[in-house]
Amino acid sequence: MAAVKHLLDRMETRTLVWLSRGRTASYLIVGSLVAAGLGAAALNPQPSDTARQKEPSISATLPMSAYGCVNDSDGDGHIFCDGSTPISQLPASYGQCHADPYVGLRIVCRGTGAGW
């Protein structure tokens, strides 16, 4: 076992000396970094800025009625929805939403209101 360890140590030392004598080590390191970068780019494609600009912001362009919602008429800032759009798909700007257990499928959102 000691002979094998000695042989591996000598091979490792000779390989390191061979790499340090020339530019091989630099090319090997740079090549490895380039390959890793290309691999990461291929696995995680990011849309370009122009592609992100072309995507419309749905919540910013759709009116409240498109979600089946209306402002509360008493002016306290709450928003009432008819339940045609699931709570998870309502815009975050509506605030915290919950199903109203007393009125069928109606959803009540906090909106700018302070309390329920």
Give the chain as a 3 state SS string.
CHHHHHHHHHHHHHHHHHHHHCCHHHHHHHHHHHHHHHHHHHHCCCCCHHHHHHCCCHHHHCCHHHHCEEECCCCCCCEEECCCCCHHHCCHHHCCEEECCCCCCCEEECCCCCCC
Per-residue pLDDT of the chain (116 residues; tens, 9 = 90+): 788 888 888 888 887 777 777 777 777 777 888 888 887 877 776 665 555 555 555 545 688 889 999 988 888 888 989 988 889 999 888 889 998 888 778 898 988 766 55
